[in-house]
Structure 1
Amino acid sequence: MLISEFADLVLGHVGSPAGRPSVLAVDGRSASGKTTLAARLADAVPGTTVVHTDDIAWWHSVFDWVDLIVDGVLEPVRRGAAVSYRPPKWDERGRAGAVVVPAGQRLLIVEGVGAGRRELTDHLDGVVWVETPRAARDRRDEARMAAGEVSRETYESWMAEEEPFVAEQRAWERAFAVVDGTSSTTVGLLSEAHVNDT
């Protein structure tokens, strides 16, 4: 389906809460295409902001960031407040800027591994899972390592935490849509039967 059609499906599911943006999690394994899908949705839906869990987790913890995103982003957003949040490590390590969600947005997309985790269920209006075969994800990760975006040591350390985390969370079971992450031109919907545990 076209991204515009998928955007309509998303908006139909997450609804239009009074006084605040709808909150959508875009979850999936590393290199599955989450960031790409979130960016395409943001382009298709005016008034959308994307928050990356990697920015919340930066120098903090791979997956122990629930309190940060809830207190710093999700609770204020659900009250209808604008957000300009600097996670503690940003101050400690001198990172410029902030995680910003302007007031009056239509949609907030939280994107990243663990965005649809069960601890965030009460703060989300919907979850999309991006599913991509391991071989394709491995090729993307190898390309990132070859380009120097991430070291092999960092990648292996990340995966040692990601694999059991994803297997335990099974966020696809909470998703209203499972999307094929191999296409960058259309959005392919998959049934849960196509989601594997590898």
Structure 2
Amino acid sequence: MPDDLVADLLTRAREARVGDDLVADLLTRAREARVGSDRVVLLVDGRSGSGKTTLAGRLVAAWPRDLGPVQLVHLDDVYPGWHGLAAASRVVESSLLSATDPGWTTWDWDRGAPGERRRLDPAVSVVVEGAGSLTRASSCLATLTVWLELDAQVRRARALGRDGASYEPWWDVWAEQEARHLAVERPRELADVVVEVA
């Protein structure tokens, strides 16, 4: 790839930011969508490098007091290795959003093995972010669902700029799993809000 194209992609990647207006709008929507519950379940999905972690962090940082406390789950802590997108989706549906004993077993990336069990408070709001978080089953358990869309070249530049050498050999493997997730679950169509990240 020519150096000027790489520089342009990195510039566009840095400029692809989550705005304050978007965060405020999503929090307003989450508040309004709570029907019969004080708890908010907010799912943020999108392909690698689209800005899910950034958006989730901004949402939690701006979380209003009237919505009570909030928990944040990054699916990077849930995926059981580089081939684990579909498995993590099932964990979201069956365990993370369980009404009785929500939680998950972490993945120890250094050991390449399951880690410790983490629990969530079922009465406290939760933001779950990660590729594969939004499925037909999980959307039924959520208060608000968000899909982030961003140009593939910009996403790749962002992801590799963030994770570098550890991610590059796995980019295609992960992208194939994302493509399967999109084909099977159609998360963009399930989303209450689709954000075209600019």
Would you say same fold, with TM above 0.5? yes
Alignment partner of 1:157 out of 170, 173, 188: 173
Aligned in 2, Cα 1:2/1:94: closer, same or farther, shift over 3 Å? closer
Give the match for residue 51 of structure 1: 73
- CA displacement 1:131-161 (0-9 Å, x = unmatched): 112232121123135x33x242212211122
What one-letter code is carried by the residue in structure 2 that aligns with 1:70?
Answer: E
Relative to 1, partners in 2 of residues 1:151 and 1:111: Cα closer, same or farther, differing over 3 Å? closer
Aligned partners of 2:138, 2:25: CA distance in 1, in Å?
26
Distance verdict in 2 for CA 1:181–1:17, change over 3 Å: farther
1:1-198 alignment, distance < 5 Å: 1=21, 3-13=23-33, 15=34, 17-18=36-37, 21-45=39-63, 46=65, 47-59=69-81, 61-75=84-98, 78-79=99-100, 83=102, 85-86=104-105, 93=113, 95=115, 97-102=116-121, 104-105=123-124, 107-144=125-162, 147-148=164-165, 150-182=166-198
Post-superposition Cα deviations, 1:77-126, rounded to whole Å, max 9, x if no partner, equal x34x5x45425x6698363x543423542x21121111111132332222
Gap regions ≥5 residues in structure 1? 183-198
Taking the aligned partners of 1:21 and 1:152, their CA distance within structure 2 comes to 38
Aligned-pair RMSD on alpha carbons?
Answer: 2.8
Could you state the TM-score of these two structures normalised by the residue count of structure 2? 0.72
Runs of 4+ in 1 over 4 A off after TM superposition: 89-92
CA deviation profile, 1:14-41 (whole Å, cap 9, x unmatched):
x1543x6221111111110011111111
Letter in 2 for 1:179: V
Equivalenced residue count is 171
Distance 1:70 1:178, change over 3 A: closer
SS of alignment partner, residue 38 of structure 1: helix
CA contact under 8 A between 1:129 and 1:175: conserved in structure 2? yes
Q: TM-score, normalised by structure 1?
A: 0.72
User: How far apart, in 2, do the equivalents of 1:50 and 1:33 lie?
Assistant: 15
In 2, the alpha carbon distance for the partners of 1:122 and 1:9 equals 16
